[in-house]
Structure 1
Amino acid sequence: MKSHLFRYILAMGLIVLLGACQRGKEEKSGIRFLSHGTNASCPYITRDTAGNTVVSWVENDSISNKGVMYYAVTNDDGYTFSEPRKIGATMGVYPHDENLPKLLFKPNGTIIALFGMEQHDARNKYAGKVMYAQSFDNGLHWEAPMPLVTDTTGYDQRYFDMALLPDGEAAAIWLDNRKETAAEGSTLYFARTSGNAGFQAAKPVVETVCQCCRTKLLVDKKGVIHIVYRDIINDSIRDMVHQTSADGGNSFSAPVRISADNWVVNGCPHTGPTLVANDHGLHFAWFTMGHGKGVFYCQSTDNGNTYTQKESLSTAPMAKHPQMTIDKKGEVYITWDEPVKVGNDFNSRIAFLHKSVDGRTLDSQAITADSTWCSYPVLGALQEGILVVFKQRVGNGTAIAYGIMEH
């Protein structure tokens, strides 16, 4: 039974928090925050040190017309959001919805913004550069951005992720051109911060990773580091692979496929995996066109030694870009975008699925209208309900929209 109620609002135009101060807490509806311009993208959800939900995104600066990161915070469980805060140190960020800029809040008050820029390197016209900026006073001031990689042989870094380690430091992974093999693919690197000195001691983890799919980094309750990515196997198969580290990233287990999809494709799908962990185990979702098409799910109850048979989540064969979260009970939520035919054309809608702690499907539904174009959703758990944020086409531009699934 569909037990969820979804209300979403567009965040665009020049209206700042219209009605936010007038609205009581009788319902979670109305405008919460906005993107000032008409080219907003790359929504991302995290939490600050107080446990408040934080949403970040990218929009074009009105003066320079360059991309810049913004973020807003809710301290009342999604009823209202703060006025958007601009991170000037990220000016020039390259907006890429599969290569999301990210924020991380360290327990000591440091905030890290990790983002991609164009490299403009003759060795690869598509090359990117991963940069990061730090604030040591909870976002009041930001240090000048620094490159994640300073080695001049590293001219292409993309598809990064970031997570908080048990000791309060941050870990990052990314795809890098530096490798010791002639085989196709990028090398996945790992690094961690060292106090205010930023990211240090970068090390390669694995080679032959699909060059254009996002990576996933997760640290579970026991402090085990999990990485998931699309590997290139035997120069032709592009399947999802899982590795773990139980020693803080000093060493990683051998790569293991979460599903033997055996998808042979000569190209980059531009849609990576997602992963959450609860007391029952690990839960994965991903896109493939091997032995089935669309978004799939599996789980592992033994920390990645074995994986369940994959389960299709959507009847749409080109459903893509899955993201996951868990709520305070450990129940699992998955969202993705999928094409929907409207007349003689196609739009894109957001779908949503709710699973129990042990992975049984409880509810599945589309949560945006077929008449709109919505894509690249992300999820975050509130105290009551699940926050869904996504990009929506509005006129000739794009805006950030969000809503809350209540049950």
Structure 2
Amino acid sequence: MASGDNWFVNWADFPSVSPIDKTRWAAHWLAKRPGGTYAYDVAVALSDDAGSSWSAPIVPHTDGTPTEHGFVSLFPWDDDVGVLWLDGRQMTADHASGHGGEGGMTLRSARLGARGQISDARRVDDLVCDCCQTDVAIAGDGPVAVYRNRTPEEIRDIYLARTVDGHWQPGTPVADDGWEINGCPVNGPAVVAQDNDVAVAWFTAANDQPRVRAAFSDDGGATFAAAVDIDSERPTGRVDIEMLDKTTAVVSWIAGGTQGHDQIALRVIGRDGAMGPKRQVAPIATSRASGFPQMIRLGEELVFAWTDTTGETSQVRTATVSIQAIR
């Protein structure tokens, strides 16, 4: 569907293919541009035949600056494709590590029409963490986005921005963890929704205590119940989340292990805070090369995909887990 010799390839900021509806799909990757090692654009391609053919790539941002643009979420937005990304147009030119800098990484969005036309370009948040993944779910009133915010005091907690009448509202904290860290932890949140029931999972190491946490909302993300610790035994994070029903979710993450290997784990959690046992899906290396495991719900199964680096060559592996078996 796409190839190139100018792609920006990164262990944490990876391409995606997202079904928007039954026949309309969207995909994205990152393409380098002149101006420096960390000068690259978002490229989005659209398909109207379920991936059989694809449009020419579209760049959803029009600033033209040789800066970072990435950590993209693609989602249905009314009759359009929504694109959400981290945008470095306001950052200093010598910002080379992706983990700090004097400028401000912003969170921005735009819509892509059926022919790729760009509309409704907006700034969602004017100061966010530099290199943590974003995620979007569709709640009852429209898209809700989760991301790692950044304050001038270097507090980097998870925020949710929701849409009302098609317009982004200011982001608000999902929980007040108070994680002060002078640099990006490269560990973004995940969100899922069924109508106005929303669940968010994330990693924090506030007070030097690594934890995977989750919280529920029953009003479309306007407010959240108290967060619950899913794993406080020094997890790595890299979370994902899916709904089992309106009051129950399943969280996946990389949990601590031994001898250089962690494990992909999952745990069922209810809105009332009740949790099932921690279950192991598969072992995984602790290195960056192992990437970010992905989890989706497919009918009555959970499907996992991850990078296995335990052999001589890296491989993408998959596994399925019966939902009935973990309830």
Question: TM-score of the superposition, structure 1-length normalised?
Answer: 0.69
Partner of 2:69: 157
Alignment of 1:228-377 (within 5 A): 228-248=146-166, 251-278=167-194, 281-291=197-207, 292-327=209-244, 331-342=248-259, 346-356=260-270, 359-369=273-283, 376-377=292-293
8 Å contact kept, 2:144–2:221:
no
What is the distance in 1 between the residues matched to 2:22 and 2:236?
40
8 Å contact kept, 1:116–1:158:
yes
Q: Taking every aligned residue pair, what percent have the same amino acid on both sides?
A: 23
What is the distance in 2 between the residues matched to 1:260 and 1:106?
33
Name the amino acid aligned to 1:224.
G
Shift of the 328–201 alpha-carbon distance from structure 1 to 2, 3 Å rule, reads same
Whether 2:89 is the aligned partner of 1:186: answer no
Alignment of 1:124-139 (within 5 A): 125-139=37-51
Deviations 1:299-333 (A, max 9, x none): 22233343233222124324210001123676311
Residue range with higher mean Cα deviation, 321-330 or 170-179: 321-330
Name the amino acid aligned to 1:246.
V
Residue range with higher mean Cα deviation, 237-246 or 395-404: 395-404
Unaligned runs of 5+ in 2: 93-100
Shift of 1:247: 1.7
Shift of 1:184: 4.3
Name the amino acid aligned to 2:225.
T
2:168 match: secondary structure: coil
What is the distance in 1 between the residues matched to 2:91 and 2:132?
21
What is the distance in 2 between the residues matched to 1:279 and 1:197?
28
What is the distance in 2 between the residues matched to 1:295 and 1:180?
30
8 Å contact kept, 1:89–1:143:
no
Name the amino acid aligned to 2:42.
V
8 Å contact kept, 2:46–2:116:
no
What is the distance in 1 between the residues matched to 2:46 and 2:242?
26
Whether 2:301 is the aligned partner of 1:382: answer no
Shift of 1:212: 0.7
Name the amino acid aligned to 1:185.
G
What is the distance in 1 between the residues matched to 2:50 and 2:263?
36
Partner of 1:102: 16
What is the distance in 1 between the residues matched to 2:174 and 2:221?
8
Shift of the 296–197 alpha-carbon distance from structure 1 to 2, 3 Å rule, reads same
Shift of the 297–328 alpha-carbon distance from structure 1 to 2, 3 Å rule, reads closer
What is the distance in 2 between the residues matched to 1:304 and 1:359?
17
Shift of 1:102: 1.7
Shift of the 103–284 alpha-carbon distance from structure 1 to 2, 3 Å rule, reads same
Partner of 1:204: 123
Alignment of 1:221-232 (within 5 A): 222-232=140-150
Higher relative contact order (CA 8 A, sep 6+): 1
Partner of 1:82: none
Query: Alignment length, in residue pairs?
Result: 312
What is the distance in 2 between the residues matched to 1:378 and 1:270?
16
Deviations 1:247-266 (A, max 9, x none): 22xx3222211111111111
8 Å contact kept, 2:39–2:66:
no
1:360 match: secondary structure: coil
What is the distance in 2 between the residues matched to 1:247 and 1:393?
45
Partner of 1:219: 138
2:87 to 176, 180, 187: 176
Shift of 1:179: 3.8
8 Å contact kept, 2:153–2:180:
no
8 Å contact kept, 1:107–1:168:
no
What is the distance in 1 between the residues matched to 2:268 and 2:7?
33
RMSD: 2.8
Partner of 1:21: none
8 Å contact kept, 1:89–1:133:
no
What is the distance in 2 between the residues matched to 1:371 and 1:269?
18
8 Å contact kept, 1:273–1:322:
yes
Shift of 1:396: 3.0
Larger Rg: 1
8 Å contact kept, 1:279–1:330:
no
Shift of 1:90: 6.3
What is the distance in 1 between the residues matched to 2:68 and 2:267?
36
